Amino acid sequence: MVRQPAVAGQFYSDEPKRLRGELQRMVPVGAAKRRVTGIVAPHAGYVYSGNVAGAIYGIVELPRTVVILGPNHHGFGAAAALYPDGEWLTPLGSVPIDAKLADLVREHAPVVESDTSAHRFEHSLEVQVPFLKYCREDVKIVPLCLGFGDYERCRLLGEGLAWAIREFGEDVLIVASSDMTHYESADAARTKDEQAIAEVLALNPEGLLRVCGQKNITMCGVIPATVMLVAAKALGATKAELVRYATSGDVTGDNRQVVAYAAIAVY
């Protein structure tokens, strides 16, 4: 199966040379690379969140295989939808699915279903792929689009994902694709987001899901981030670091109603 880009030309350039130039400007060079287990990276249009995403991708020692966890914004398809095989096309070339790890994820995480329909229009996973392709030409991906909301399934998927990665036997990065607070003032967004980020930094997946619900923090990828934290802890992660935080107001100059973005490394 071949997945065509859904938001090339909208969220990021569909012209290869221009896109490569944009990524070159957004991903810092010369930064010390580190091995990390998981990251949180934003998924808005590159003009708004690209520098935040670039900040995290610029410091990661990228392994060949990357699991991408993204929220299901459209409601299509399975609740935990795995794109099982084939390749995803980008303006920079195709990126294959790592079928071996995908099979292991299905084996160890029964909540997962093979389903391509959830991925057809979803941008949250797609916008990560050009960054991955730019940073490592031979990268492979395992994309999971998540449309459920309870902690129990987060735990089951996260633990199953960790078992699959251990059996896979190679380094794997887990990307949780998420923006932070939506359509509030920059000050209000920061106040709310600090509470969610504190739970990520404390490696507290259940606390993250709880505080977003209790405080009405509109972190659209809270489920992917929760799953990533469960898996990362099971794989031995012991600390996390906020790499960058910004809002759309930093670009537009309008801080009255923003979308916020965070880049976090878990290792």
Segments of the chain with pLDDT less than 70: none
Token readout for 116 is 């391509």
Q: How far, in Å, are 73, 177, 221, 260 from residue 144 at the CA level? A: 13, 10, 12, 23
**How buried is 113 (Cβ within 10 angstroms: 0-12 exposed, 13-18 middle, 19+ buried)?**
middle
Give the per-residue pLDDT at 164: 98
Give the per-residue pLDDT at 131: 98
Q: Where are the beta strands (DSSP E) in 136-225?
A: 140-146, 172-177, 182-184
Give the per-residue pLDDT at 30: 83
**How buried is 103 (Cβ within 10 angstroms: 0-12 exposed, 13-18 middle, 19+ buried)?**
middle
159: how many CB neighbours lie within 10 A of its CB? Answer: 17
Q: How far, in Å, are 16, 33, 93, 110 from residue 176 at the CA level? A: 25, 19, 23, 20
Name the residue among 172, 148, 159, 130 with its Cα closest to residue 230.
Answer: 159
The pTM is what? 0.98
Give the per-residue pLDDT at 54: 98
Give the per-residue pLDDT at 31: 82
Topology at the third CATH level for domain 2-266 = Protocatechuate 4,5-dioxygenase; Chain B (3.40.830)
Give the per-residue pLDDT at 26: 98
Q: How far apart are CA 209 and CA 16, in angstroms?
A: 38
238: how many CB neighbours lie within 10 A of its CB? Answer: 10
Q: pLDDT, tens digit, for every residue of 157-187?
A: 999 999 999 999 999 999 999 999 999 999 9
Token readout for 218 is 């509109």
